[in-house]
Amino acid sequence: MQNLWAPWRIDYILGERETYCIFCPEGDGLSDEERLILHRGRNVMVMMNKYPYNNGHLLVAPWRHLNRYEDLEDREMLDLSRWIQRCIVILRKVMRPDGFNVGLNLGVVAGAGIEDHLHQHVVPRWSGDTNFMPVLADVRSIPEHLKATYAKLLPHFKKEGAHEAL
């Protein structure tokens, strides 16, 4: 028998949840590294998903606290789109996925885990990354620790963010 090791999942399993909005700028005084933030722009931020569907699962969100897509301002919409594109470019370069799932879950019935603050998911996918585990045991296998993935991605986001006019 093989063991799957995903130590960061225990916080989720035991129900210890953040009491602040993970997408808002203040972040309860935690550092960007603690929050897994890869990029802080003027209008949007990029962070790793603490409870990923797959290795390299990123979240792109406007700083402004809103939950309706139609309430995005043009500058936020443009930055959101630009950073989704940049996330894809960086993930292709660093992790070499075969494809991506990119999307929004608007409202609880649509699957939003955090329904009060709009955010986009960018999930890299590889051929064969889905197997019987999620279907039969409701378990996902993430092959790399979050901190290792963060360290691998951060230099690329710093480089890409340096080109952004703040």
117 is catalytic: no
Q: What is the dihedral of CA 130, 143, 46, 134, to 10 degrees?
A: 30
23: Cβ contacts below 8 Å, ≥ 6 apart: 45, 47, 59, 61, 62, 63, 65, 114, 117, 119
Helix (H) or strand (E) holding 121: strand 120-125
Question: Which one is catalytic: 39, 57, 117, 119?
Answer: 119
Catalytic positions, please? 119
